[in-house]
Amino acid sequence: MTATQRQYASEVLYMDYMSSEDSDYEETEDPITGETERKLACYKTKKLTWEKTSLTNLKYKLDRAYHNSLSSHARAMSKPRQVGGLSARPAPEGPSWAVRKPDGETD
């Protein structure tokens, strides 16, 4: 990452800027016991409606860097993330490059 990207990241690495996520499970039957098991299939993230593309792109780069830093075993054990709806969470007071203003509001 460039120095500018690191500076931008330091402005938004707070919970207010992170997507909410829910665990999504799948049910499988144990072939030996016949019991039904629930296994974590993926995480469903909720898109932040106020998030600008520049913030989305920065978070993608951070996620890729994190994923690439994992051991091969940890990478194999990680669960995928899928967009599963829109978040109703209001926008934080944040930098203009990251946060879209509500309709009708200007800087």
Nearest Cα to 89, choosing from 23, 14, 25, 10? 14
pTM of structure:
0.75
What CA–CA distance (Å, rounded) separates 95 from 62? Answer: 18
Q: What is the pLDDT of residue 107?
A: 54
- pLDDT greater than 70 at residue 103: no
What is the band of 106 on the pLDDT scale with cuts at 50, 70, 90?
low
Span 34-46, mean pLDDT?
90
Residue with more model confidence, 102 or 51: 51
What CA–CA distance (Å, rounded) separates 56 from 77? Answer: 24
The DSSP secondary structure of the chain, one letter per residue, reads --HHHHHHHHHH-SGGGSPPEEEEEEEEE-TTT--EEEEEEEEEEEEETTB-HHHHHHHHHHHHHHHHHS-HHHHHHPPPEEEEEEE-PPPPS--TTTBPPPTT---
Q: Which amino acid is at 30?
A: D
Q: What pLDDT digit, counting tens, does each position of 42-85 carry?
A: 999 999 999 999 999 999 999 999 999 999 999 888 888 888 88
The answer to whether 44 touches 20, Cβ cutoff 8 Å, is: no
